Structure 1
Amino acid sequence: MKAGERFTVALIGASGLLGRAVAAELARAESAQTWRVVRTARNRVDAQSAKLDLLDHEAVRGFLRELAPDAIVVAAAERRPDICENDPSLARALNVDALRVIAEEARTLGAWVLSISTDYVFDGASPPYYPDDAPAPLNAYGRSKLEGERTLLAADPASCVLRLPLLYGPFTDWNESAVTSLTPAIVASANSANPRASMDAWATRYPTFTPDVAVVIRGMLEHHARGATISGIAQWSGDEPMTKFDIARRIARVLKVDAKLVAQITPTDSTPRPRDCHLDSGRLEALGIGRRTPFDQAIAGLLSNYPDVSSQ
């Protein structure tokens, strides 16, 4: 970058759960007039974003060539494990093929790519997991994300993959996150006419707040803008282990619902899921990058924004 030029970031998938948080965080960098952030969305397009379908490869190429960004953050993906298991071709199209197109264009343009991946690239048998540990995904979602990682890094070793665990944050509907999706059943259980809410007490998760991840991503972009590019594999995770049963009981306390109405079960999902994929965040922590909001504080803040929660 030349003196006086703005650092241009393409945020792909700005309308999703994580994308919105990243867009909000990067808006603060834009306000300093030193950054330019161009947001894209596929369906929920607004005045602040451009419509872009990642399945339209020519449109993706045209968008990137016209913008010529310094950095590209890829927050768009097919992230629903059951959908991926039932339609692996769709998972591959979004999580691998689209990323290949972005990576190829980025290499030509000299742009740094930061792509979001998942803890599901591991089998959950031997946590914690470090960036250089051997992946062993159990399901189609994890396999597609692992292939996407390898595709990106093969195209340009200077690019970066950021692995993340279970995300939650400001939402537009309950089902945007596997954390907030538990809420309707918890509320329903408060009605004596409804059975107890049954929640998975087998798999350990590490819920991670999207505004915290947005701070991490901004920190990584700032490193790149200063010429200290972070490449290869990086990881970030919340540090509070809990099952869905634990999460549900915490949500119940926030909603003043009797936690005894939440029952624990061992799941029988058709899609295999890992038991504990705790990601080590040491690489980013050593660089002074990161923020963690306590889960109880974050979930209370989220649910306080929805005063009609008891009617859901």
Structure 2
Amino acid sequence: MRRRRPAWALGSVDAVINCAALSQPALCEQDYQLARAVNVPDKLIAALVRQRRTRHVEALLVHISTDQVYDGSHADWTETDRTAPINAYGRSKLEAEQYVRTHWERRIILRSSLIYGPQPPHPVGRPLFLQFVEEALREGRPTRFLEDEFRSAVYVKDICAVVSHLIKLLPDAPPHHTYNLGGPERLSRLDVARAVARHCGHGEKAIEAVTSSSMGDRGYNSPLDISMHVDRILTEIPVSLTPLSEALKEIFPAKVVAAAK
């Protein structure tokens, strides 16, 4: 019986967007080899090399990295700042960046911040941050939110817009290989929780502001401030980055009406 070839073998691939990641910091600390096996795309690049050799097509690799390659010692990180991650997740993602740079020339690395967005069409294995916040506030459950850890939380639609534009550039490419991809604001989780409360009209009684030092041992080190400058991507790629307040109108549209009543 003749074996059917897999779909990927039927033609060449012009672009690959690598979103695969083991992104739970505590799990990465427990098993770094597992973190590395998922986060360093050596097998993916081996497949791209095979395609280049057999089909003479060198695909664009868009690799999603993380803001946790920075150590969190100050605000507003730029792409040229020193990378020195303080947890296993960040180290595995930095190792991935280094592997991609060494082994594949036609690449774009996007250092994403905390990603938020609407509920996905298919269930995911863990609750999304914004949806967790909205549910906790709606039910009035006292919930702790960090007030002293800052990131440039980014709307998932903005990531899709950036990636879409990069693919449309083919066969050209932007001037740089590495870009910070965060939102336009420096936000703590407490800031996000308060924004959700205001938007949805839930009030802030359930919100408890806490510091990272009060959290005890989380099983990993967490950088205090990995907010990022996004000037490079805004200058070189014609996209806009959505403020949290505007994104909330799309993610929880019914809440706008409910809050206004």
Q: TM-score range by the shorter chain?
A: 0.7 to 0.9
Residue 305 of structure 1: how far off its partner (Å): 5.9
Identical aligned residues as a percent: 26
Choose from 143, 150, 156 the match for 1:197: 143
**Structure 2 equivalent of residue 247 of structure 1:** 192
* Rounded Cα–Cα distance in structure 2 between residues aligned with 1:279 and 1:106: 31
Distance 1:179 1:185, change over 3 A: same
Could you give the per-residue CA deviations for residues 107-165 of structure 1, whole angstroms, max 9, x where no partner exists? Answer: 34211211100000011113322222221111111111111111111101331211110
SS of the equivalent of 2:238 reads coil
Question: 289, 293, 301: which is aligned to 2:242?
Answer: 293
Query: Tell me, what secondary structure is at the counterpart of 2:239?
Result: coil
- State how far apart, in whole Å, the 1-side matches of 2:9 and 2:60 are: 14
Distance of aligned partners of 1:161 and 1:65 in 2 relative to their CA distance in 1, 3 Å threshold: farther
Q: 180, 186, 195: which one pairs with 1:235?
A: 180
Partners of 2:116 and 2:129 within 8 A in 1: yes
Structure of greater relative contact order (alpha carbons < 8 Å, 6+ residues apart): 2
Tell me the CA shift for residue 277 of structure 1. 1.0
Identify which range, 231-240 or 211-220, moves more after superposition: 231-240
C-alpha displacement of 1:299: 1.7
Q: Which residue of 2 aligns with 1:84?
A: 28
Post-superposition CA distance 1:245-299 (Å, at most 9, x none): 1111111122211213311011323321111112222222222432222211212
The separation in 1 between residues aligned to 2:83 and 2:7, in whole angstroms, is 33
Shift in Å at residue 234 of structure 1? 1.6
What residue in structure 1 maps to residue 154 of structure 2? 208
What is the Cα-based RMSD across aligned positions, in Å? 2.4
- Which runs of 5 or more structure 1 residues have no equivalent in the other structure? 1-61
Normalising by structure 1, report the TM-score: 0.70
Aligned partner of 1:274 among 198, 223, 227: 223
CA distance in 1, matches of 2:165, 2:193: 32
Unmatched tracts of structure 2, length 5 or more: 1-5, 53-57
Is the counterpart of residue 122 in structure 1 residue 73 in structure 2? no
Go from structure 1 to structure 2 and tell me whether the alpha carbon gap of 1:306 and 1:78 turns closer, same or farther (over 3 Å shift): farther
CA–CA distance in structure 2, aligned partners of residues 160 and 64 of structure 1:
22
Give the deviation of 1:217 after TM superposition: 0.9
Q: Distance in 2 between matches of 1:104 and 1:133?
A: 30
Aligned counterpart for 2:137 among listed residues 152, 166, 186: 186
- Assess if the C-alpha contact under 8 Å between 1:65 and 1:105 holds in 2: no
Cα distance in 1, alignment partners of residues 59 and 171 from structure 2: 14
**CA separation of 1:140/1:240 partners in 2, compared to 1, >3 Å: closer, same or farther?**
same
**TM-score, structure 2 normalization:** 0.82
SS in 2 for 1:260: coil
Whether the 8 Å contact between 2:184 and 2:230 is mirrored in structure 1 is no
Report the count of equivalent residues: 239
**Using a 3 Å threshold, how does the CA distance of structure 1 residues 288 and 148 change in structure 2: closer, same or farther?**
closer
2:246 alignment partner, SS class: helix
Q: Does the 8 A contact of 2:22 with 2:35 survive in 1?
A: yes
Shift of 1:230: 5.1
Match 1:217 to one of 163, 183, 192: 163
Matches within 5 A, 1:1-312: 65-96=9-40, 99-108=41-50, 109=52, 110-172=58-120, 175-189=126-140, 194=141, 196-223=142-169, 225-228=170-173, 232-267=177-212, 268=215, 269-304=218-253
